[in-house]
Amino acid sequence: MKRIQLFIITKSIGLYLNCLSFINAEKAKTIAYQFFSEPRKGRLKKDKLPKTLQYSTKETFTYNNENFQTYIWEGNDDIILLVHGWESNASRWKKILPYLKKLPNTIIAIDAPAHGLTDGKEFNTPKYAEFIHVLTQKYNPKTLIGHSIGGAAITYYLHKYRNDHVEKIVLLGAPSSFKRISDNFIEMLSLNAKIQTLLENYYFERFNIHVNDFAGHLFASNFHQKAIIAHDLQDNIILVEEGRKYAQNWKNATYIETNGLGHSMHNGDLYQKIADFIAEA
């Protein structure tokens, strides 16, 4: 029933926007981008934090007049940064944290733009990468772990800032092609070609990169960091072909293809492999 309701709602929104595009194209584009960029879940309340985050040190950073939240589990000077995905928050790492806490490293998790306790209503990958940059300037993490769009934000960050201090990367169910994400949104709402063109032009105006060039696997061909790229055959959110593209282009990567974990990628054996990878000299 919920799927039927979601289908009716999304197609109704798409029909409205398609009609509006012939009357006021700019307004149709603005509303479409708002639907595309504004998360509908993943927020947290300070007085009702998940237990995973309650027992951490909180630190708030400010960037462009917006506050973003981090959570720290203290260890040594070698830092692991955790970067979650769309409509989630830093608590999504609760199942991997027991494996990482066995290591001597300090662990830092971030709430993405418009997620968790972080300000804002708009989420986009370049903005997320800016938050990562602010955080890395202070803490210089050696390992970055990203799930889903968090992984895409990491690859865009490395592409833009070329941080040679970062030694190891882990991508879990990460998308590569921004074009595919945009096309999926267009298809979900059945938006017309006019709105699609307006949106793609808007992306270029905002982020100064063409939608076809906004691809993590293209960025990865220039990366020197060691990496684990893990993707599941049954991931129906980000197709496994995205992980394979990363693996084909990342020179120093180990590719792990799982079966039955879906998009969440929660698995003890996988998490132990990641912990062992981080512990390697």
Domains of the chain as residue ranges with CATH: 1-37+178-209 (no CATH), 49-177+215-279 (3.40.50.1820)
For residue 1, the model assigns a pLDDT of 61
Q: Above 90 in pLDDT, residue 192? A: yes
For residue 258, the model assigns a pLDDT of 98
Q: What is the pLDDT of residues 157-183, one digit of tens each?
A: 999 999 999 999 999 999 999 999 999
Q: What is the pLDDT of residues 15-30, one digit of tens each?
A: 999 999 999 999 999 9
The share of the chain scoring above pLDDT 90, in percent, equals 95
| β pairing state of 76-83 and 226-232 | unpaired
For residue 5, the model assigns a pLDDT of 81
Are 144 and 169 a contacting pair, CB within 8 Å? yes
| pLDDT category of residue 104 using cuts at 50, 70 and 90 | very high
Rounded to the nearest integer, the mean pLDDT of the chain is 95
Q: Above 70 in pLDDT, residue 269? A: yes
CB burial of residue 23 (10 Å; 0-12, 13-18, 19+): exposed
pTM score over 0.75? yes
Q: What is the pLDDT of residues 108-117, one digit of tens each?
A: 999 999 999 9
The share of the chain scoring above pLDDT 70, in percent, equals 99
